[in-house]
Structure 1
Amino acid sequence: MSEQPASLTWARRALAAVVGLGAVTTVLMVLLRDDLVRSWAEGRRDIRRILETQGLDAVKEGAVHPPAFVPVAVVMFIVVAGLIWVLSAFLSGGYNWARVCLTLLLFFLAVGTIAGLRTGAPPVFAALSVASFPLEAVAVWFLWHRDTGAYLRSGAAERREDLARS
């Protein structure tokens, strides 16, 4: 297989940065879970009244339970990081379908991030969300760079030749 181009190295670095930002966000969700619950309560008229009159503990112990932000964030982080890791390995091996899958994954991460921004999350999470967009765009740009494409085409050609020899 031909030597990996710089564009592929940069794509993998950008993907690693996306995973790193996801790790920071997940850790902050654990540390700032009260801020998330408070933000959630402020966004609901029926719960906001309880928050204002009885406090955050009353919201947590009320009849309507706040969403379980932390377990969902941890599981999502593990799944997305694992997918990026596995797909990056296939990408480095010259498989074009991994590039397509990574692009779709980044697209759906961006859509999920937009949905998260619309919920009125605390400012630190809004800032992290906004920071994720350029990282995702850079990753996609390098994934679809012409040098990356040439590398993937050469990998496919080599696999076809290996099959023909078998």
Structure 2
Amino acid sequence: MDFSLSMEHEILRKSVRDFAENEIKPVARELDEKEEFSYETMKAMAELGLFGIFVSEEYGGQEMDYVSYIIATEEIARVDGSHAATVAAGNSLGIGPLYYYGNEEQKKKYLPKACRGETLWAFGLTEPNAGSDAGNTQTTAVLDGDEWVINGSKIFITN
């Protein structure tokens, strides 16, 4: 069995590696030390097509395969785990479930903005009395008119 990467995968690897070295690496240490998030590098990652990389062009994605997504995330992780986590969480915990399981209305409404980096998806599970046991979480979301009111406490939010 041949596990060699295709020419397209190698081109993607080099492109993302160059981007990570030139755009993320110079700011990564300072961002970590200050415990800050860079919207500038997030937007740059979106412009490179890293959010929704496996999503069809119809919804604003790059329509690449899942191996491409893994390669891109791996290359970002080479220089900074935080930026890699942003790409991974945005794609795997937000964009992916919506793309694979959302209805057409949801896909058209949310995916283009997410792929352009105009929205950033997060995942909040861990609670003080439940840990990561989803069955024992106590946070509630109630529709109040046109708005959702969310009440609860989280220990860790991914992204």
Same fold (TM over 0.5): no
Shorter-chain TM range is under 0.3
Larger gyration radius, structure 1 or structure 2: 1
- The structure that is helix-richer by fraction is 1
Higher RCO (C-alpha 8 Å, min separation 6): 1
**TM-score (norm: length of structure 2):** 0.28
- The structure that is strand-richer by fraction is 2
